[in-house]
A and B are shown apart, each in its own frame.
Chain A
Amino acid sequence: MKKALKNPGVQAFVASVICIILGLLIGYIVLLFINPEGAAESIINVIKNFFTWSRANKKLQQFGNTLSKTMPLLMCSLSILFAYKVGLFNIGAAGQYVAGSCACLYAALAWGWGWLPCMIFAIVAGAVLGAVVGMLKSYCNVNEVISGIMLNWISLYLTNTLLTKVKEVASPYTMYIKDVNPSALLPNAGLDKLFNGNKYITIAVPLALFIAIAVSIILNRTKLGYELKATGSNKNAAKYAGMAEKRNIVLTLVIAGGLAGLGAAMLYLTGYMRWECTQSSVPGMGFNGIAAAFLGGLNPIGAIFASFFIQHITDGGQYVNTNFYSSQISDLISSVIIYLCGFVLFIKLTMTGMINRSEEKKLQKIKAASSEGGDR
């Protein structure tokens, strides 16, 4: 068991599980404080999410909803972990995601493009935003966190302005794609039938999973990954070795931006959600991606499960009993849990330290025992 715990993969997994349990526990305590009566039931509902439904086909359909929203989150977390491996903290993923939303919705609603060009346009929009951050970073030495946050807001208000042109007259929401231009909806490719006809299950699901695997391969098996990680780990050595370290930084953020932009297309082109043109905060998807990336142990495959879990409890929040709690409580609980998910690295470090210390003590005991035996 000890031996298994020393394996970094196992360690990452255990650390993630500990974080999840801690998060749920603290969430439960918060509920207890607000109103002890419904706390147990509500926290169980959060964990159960779609299992709360008793009918099997309803369960399946709700599961489909969670799954379809997992994919954009997965893209954002891939965006963050990809940049993180290259030593960059892409907090601008949120803004790149917004730019992607803007691009695909505008192309779909105003220009009547098909789904594929809309999707590609979203990738390009995210990538352009990433390139701006990357160029500021490598040529002007502007910290990517600062410029990323600034661009988040710029892209949010730009998006609000642009999408007002394609919004419904009576509401702040953009028009339905299915009414205006059904060709822009992502094809279901028969996958909806697996989820009791949930039409939001599209090719985005297999595509996102494929991209997660591709990111893993690029980082670990290719020349590009080798160069990018070298640049991230030691910029000077990368330069010394003749790698184009400035270009690599820009390229990384272009790829990261593209991933976040694609994530937006994977949500809005299913028709599951519409853009609210009066919103005054950057959508949480990009920020939740940070938590998902860390909860997944900064591993693209781990990110798949972490993203699903985070989306699962976010959706589970709607099953909190509103007789006892106000409706915002669901956001509060899920954000407490997501917040705790960011502690994975800390828990991992503590764990390694504890294992080492206990091993040392054990060795000392064996030593003491054997030297006593030798004296006799």
Chain B
Amino acid sequence: MEPYAIEMLHITKRFPGIVANDDITLQLKKGEIHALLGENGAGKSTLMSVLFGLYQPEEGIIKKDGAEVKINDPNDANALGIGMVHQHFKLVECFTVLDNIIMGVEPCKMGFLQKKEAREKVLALSEKYGLKVDPDAKIEDITVGMQQRTEILKMLYRDNEILIFDEPTAVLTPQEISELMQIMKSLAAEGKSILFISHKLNEIMEVADRCSVLRKGKYIGTVNTKDTTIEELSAMMVGRNVNFHVEKKPATPGDVVLSIENMTVASKVHKNNAVKNVSLKVRAGEIVCIAGIDGNGQSEFVYGLSGLEPLVSGKITLCGKDMTASSIRQKSILGISHIPEDRHKHGLVLDYSLEDNLVLQTYFEPQFTSKWGFLLRKNIREYAEKLIDQYDVRSGQGPATTARSMSGGNQQKAIIAREIDKAPELLIAVQPTRGLDVGAIEYIHKQLVAQRDAGKAVLLVSLELDEVMDVPDRILVMYEGEIVGELDPKKTTQEELGLYMAGAKRDEVTV
């Protein structure tokens, strides 16, 4: 039998208080697409860091083509032909595509760059694998999909044989995803070995030959995707059967909680407006979802609503009170909770402890701050412990854990705990499940429905089609900053929704 392209045998890596990888074996065949599946915190990133020499395992060995190798740092990994496309691209924004590709391995003669040679090689590679890029475009001007192709070319330019894709589809549009799948298949056909890290089960089923599953640092098993089902994979990943469908009773909408009239928000990138004359209403006891392809003004809509960006025009009313001119703090006190799109940018102060993050919007209340402006540490600790317990937020050192060291899913749980516990009238949840595994997604969806059933108004903004179809009671489609359709998730189909999202169909919506 042909030796494996890369083998990681019985890898164990411990950190203080936690075994991140416990006797994990991963064998990548030459020319296969091998998926690595696991929840957040299952140990995928640690395993990859071991492969790249960023961590040294306590036990276990790495073999390449059957021979044991020692990888002490990323340079060793590179020399062995291992390359990786990170989830967050490592590109220099103000450099061209070509410059980014050759960076670090620039062909030189007498200290002068030989860009012509490099360009020819890049063009040849891009032709061979169907990786369409413009070598002279600057990274900041091109789409995310093209940036990703630049990253792939970077690996190919270095003649890497083992290509690792870390959650590559998280940032792509549906069309770009299918293009990427094609590219991955053609790379494998050319003899490259691909390791595909993901927790999107349908993508794994579509593209991968085999799939290895990790759970809580342990190796669960490897299966052929031909012989398995999505249900089986998810059960392996989570350790129990997962309910993909959100169970909920019919909604009983009450009074109007949020009313937006003719809201217009300026764009930060372009000269025109990102949100144009949007009007909508959200009632108590219903979940309204704003659907749409990324970049159609959803983010700006939420910024305008929450007060992070100023309005050009329009009126916002909450429970009959005009709060167009209210500050973020006032809105928060009057009953708006906001689960932000970007939990690292807005949602958390990463260098603060978990407990300090849990009181990020309430720290000034008499419960947490004395009359003289001193923080009541004991009360904060007690409150944090209560939330951690109630919402099952897991972390290394409880309330004192630095937020930065927590896994993405638990960071999100912390934010959700904080926002829901404020007992808001209106809960704005922007992509609340982004980058999370199925177990966490199920949990978050349950929380949203529970808020609805408790008579709160929930405004969900989502890019995930499954979420859009499953969770809300009403769908509003946003296209180029306008609401172009109102749909009933029980009556519509994904195809119809897709037509609205792509701008191919539109209704006059009067709310």
Collect the chain B residues with CB atoms within 8 Å of residue A373's CB: none
Considering the complex, give the chain B residue whose CB is closest to the CB of A371.
Answer: B59
Q: Shortest CB–CB separation between residue A352 and chain B, in angstroms?
A: 13
Q: Is A178 an interface residue (CB 8 A)?
A: no
Stretch at the interface among B86-94, B104-112, B342-350, B462-470: B342-350
Q: Is B9 an interface residue (CB 8 A)?
A: no
Q: Is A239 an interface residue (CB 8 A)?
A: yes
**Contact string against B for A residues 232-270, beta-carbon threshold 8 Å, 1 for contact and 0 otherwise:** 011011111111000000000000000000000000000
Inter-chain contact A223/B349, CB cutoff 8 Å:
no
Residue among A222, A227, A240, A364 making CB contact with B346, cutoff 8 Å: A240
Inter-chain contact A223/B328, CB cutoff 8 Å:
no
Inter-chain contact A234/B349, CB cutoff 8 Å:
yes
Residue among B58, B59, B340, B377 making CB contact with A240, cutoff 8 Å: B340
Inter-chain contact B373/A222, CB cutoff 8 Å:
yes
User: Which residues of A312-365 have CB atoms within 8 Å of chain B's CB atoms?
Assistant: 360, 363-364
How distant is the Cα of A242 from the Cα of B330 in the complex, in angstroms?
Answer: 8
Q: Is B351 an interface residue (CB 8 A)?
A: yes
Q: Shortest CB–CB separation between residue B145 and chain A, in angstroms?
A: 26
Considering the complex, give the chain B residue whose CB is closest to the CB of A359.
Answer: B16
The size of the chain A interface, using a CB distance under 8 A, is 22
Inter-chain contact A242/B328, CB cutoff 8 Å:
yes
Inter-chain contact A237/B364, CB cutoff 8 Å:
no
Inter-chain contact B374/A242, CB cutoff 8 Å:
no
Q: Is A226 an interface residue (CB 8 A)?
A: yes
Inter-chain contact B374/A223, CB cutoff 8 Å:
yes
Q: Shortest CB–CB separation between residue A47 and chain B, in angstroms?
A: 38
Q: Is B157 an interface residue (CB 8 A)?
A: no
How distant is the Cα of A230 from the Cα of B347 in the complex, in angstroms?
Answer: 12
Residue among B59, B338, B363 making CB contact with A223, cutoff 8 Å: B363
- CB-CB under 8 A for A222 and B374, given A230-B352, A242-B327, A363-B58: yes
Collect the chain B residues with CB atoms within 8 Å of residue A165's CB: none
Q: Is A221 an interface residue (CB 8 A)?
A: yes
How distant is the Cα of A234 from the Cα of B363 in the complex, in angstroms?
Answer: 16
Q: Is A367 an interface residue (CB 8 A)?
A: yes
Inter-chain contact A237/B328, CB cutoff 8 Å:
no
Residue among B331, B338, B350 making CB contact with A234, cutoff 8 Å: B350
How distant is the Cα of A364 from the Cα of B58 in the complex, in angstroms?
Answer: 6
Collect the chain A residues with CB atoms within 8 Å of residue B375's CB: 221-223, 226
Collect the chain B residues with CB atoms within 8 Å of residue A243's CB: 329
Collect the chain B residues with CB atoms within 8 Å of residue A360's CB: 56, 58
How distant is the Cα of A157 from the Cα of B375 in the complex, in angstroms?
Answer: 43
Collect the chain B residues with CB atoms within 8 Å of residue A237's CB: 345-349, 360
Collect the chain B residues with CB atoms within 8 Å of residue A367's CB: 58-59
Residue among A222, A230, A240, A364 making CB contact with B308, cutoff 8 Å: A240
Q: Is A224 an interface residue (CB 8 A)?
A: yes
Inter-chain contact A242/B329, CB cutoff 8 Å:
yes
Inter-chain contact B348/A239, CB cutoff 8 Å:
no
Q: Shortest CB–CB separation between residue A251 and chain B, in angstroms?
A: 13
How distant is the Cα of A122 from the Cα of B373 in the complex, in angstroms?
Answer: 26
Inter-chain contact B361/A241, CB cutoff 8 Å:
yes
Collect the chain A residues with CB atoms within 8 Å of residue B332's CB: 241-242
How distant is the Cα of A236 from the Cα of B347 in the complex, in angstroms?
Answer: 9
Inter-chain contact A239/B308, CB cutoff 8 Å:
yes
User: Which residues of B190-218 have CB atoms within 8 Å of chain A's CB atoms?
Assistant: none
Q: Shortest CB–CB separation between residue A353 and chain B, in angstroms?
A: 13
Inter-chain contact B345/A223, CB cutoff 8 Å:
no
Collect the chain B residues with CB atoms within 8 Å of residue A226's CB: 356, 363, 375
Q: Shortest CB–CB separation between residue A71 and chain B, in angstroms?
A: 26
User: Which residues of B267-316 have CB atoms within 8 Å of chain A's CB atoms?
Assistant: 306, 308
Inter-chain contact B352/A224, CB cutoff 8 Å:
no
Q: Shortest CB–CB separation between residue A171 and chain B, in angstroms?
A: 48
Considering the complex, give the chain B residue whose CB is closest to the CB of A240.
Answer: B346
**Contact string against B for A residues 212-230, beta-carbon threshold 8 Å, 1 for contact and 0 otherwise:** 0000000001111011011
Collect the chain A residues with CB atoms within 8 Å of residue B347's CB: 237, 240
Inter-chain contact B373/A224, CB cutoff 8 Å:
yes
**Contact string against A for B residues 317-347, beta-carbon threshold 8 Å, 1 for contact and 0 otherwise:** 0000000000111111000001010000111
Contact sample, A vs B, 15 pairs, CB 8 Å cutoff: A221-B375, A224-B373, A229-B352, A230-B356, A234-B348, A237-B345, A237-B346, A237-B349, A239-B346, A240-B308, A241-B328, A242-B331, A360-B58, A363-B14, A367-B58
Known pairs A223-B373, A224-B373; list 9 more (Cβ under 8 Å).
A223-B363, A223-B364, A230-B360, A234-B348, A234-B350, A234-B351, A236-B345, A237-B346, A364-B56
Closest 10 CB pairs of A and B: A242-B329, A240-B346, A242-B328, A241-B360, A223-B369, A233-B351, A234-B349, A223-B373, A230-B349, A241-B361
Residues of A within 8 A of B (CB): 221-224, 226-227, 229-230, 233-234, 236-243, 360, 363-364, 367
